[in-house]
Amino acid sequence: MAKPALGRGLGALMGGTPVIARPEAISVATPTAPTSVAPLPTPQPPTDPRDRVQRVKLDRVRPCPFQPRKDFSAEALRELADSIKEQGIVQPLIVRERDGFFELIAGERRWRASQLIGLAEVPVIVRDADDRAVLEMALIENLQRENLNPIEEAQGYAQLVAQFQLTQEEVAVKVGKSRAVVANALRLLKLSPAIQTFLREGRLSVGHAKVILGLTAEPNQKLAAERVIKDGLNVRQTEGLVAKLQHRVPRGPGKTGIAPPQTDAHVADLENRIRERVGTKVHLRYAAGKGSVEISFYSDDELERVLQILGVNAE
């Protein structure tokens, strides 16, 4: 089944009316008295009340608690503020009414930039939306513009899962992503807070983070991340570093011991790649050319999906 296109829900929230084709002029002729009939008037599409733009006082607009984006570049906001000062706000903010105020659904950057230049009023379109719809729309808007860092994106998916009891598959459908993308994003939240900060700041890539996830001990994760940043290691070099650290166990301040051999970094990387392909938990066992691959599924539908990916007919 094809997934809905990204932004389908956002399009519904933003409103819009169907385009009605303009009828062509009709001409009528007879053999003896050719005549022509004037074009019929073009029917006008009904006005959608949801498209009505209002102007409201800026101090009546409040940020949304479900906004997945937490980091706003001061420099980018200033540039946007300068543009608004010259051109005004071209695209209205999307809001919902809440406790006598207007709560943002989409357009927080424009709202923040408007504050910088002291605008008194802003254009808004008011929508009816529940909490889940607001979170979905905020996620979709930011994903369309690629405004979220990897941790913000992962936290948005996690909030849909935890707060609204959605499965990863349901989240993927709603935001127009694959199940594998959602699952891999959620795995980033298993990293230590320090490494999540590196991801937020763009000092580590998602590729580096996936390799570092092969380390279970938090001190080793942090050590690996700091080495990657300091030495400018690429992903393949990070795999080699992780392989060495997998045999190292913290034994108190400044002390380390040797741990029993763990999964080789290359095996861990292959396991991650299989997991990304099938979009579910995978465990790869390998030793001396032998082993097994265990693929987990949690419903008949998920099993059918995995079989389709593997090219196996379930019938």
User: Which residues are known catalytic residues?
Assistant: 108
Distance CA 15, CA 231 (A): 50
Structure token pair of residue 144? 């369309």
DSSP 230: H
Q: Which residue from 13, 40, 16, 10 is spatially nearest to 26, judged by alpha carbons?
A: 40
Query: What residues contact 172, with CB distance under 8 A and at least 6 apart?
Result: 3, 178, 179, 181, 182
E runs forming strands in the chain = 54-57, 61-62, 93-98, 101-106, 121-126, 248-250, 256-258, 282-287, 290-295
Q: If 0-12 CB within 10 Å is exposed, 13-18 middle and 19+ buried, where does residue 186 land?
A: middle
- Quickly count helices (H) and strands (E) in the chain: 13, 9
SS3 (DSSP) at 101: strand
* Strand 61-62 relative to strand 101-106, pairing: parallel
Cα–Cα distances in Å, from 10 out to 4, 16, 134, 141, 143? 12, 11, 10, 7, 11
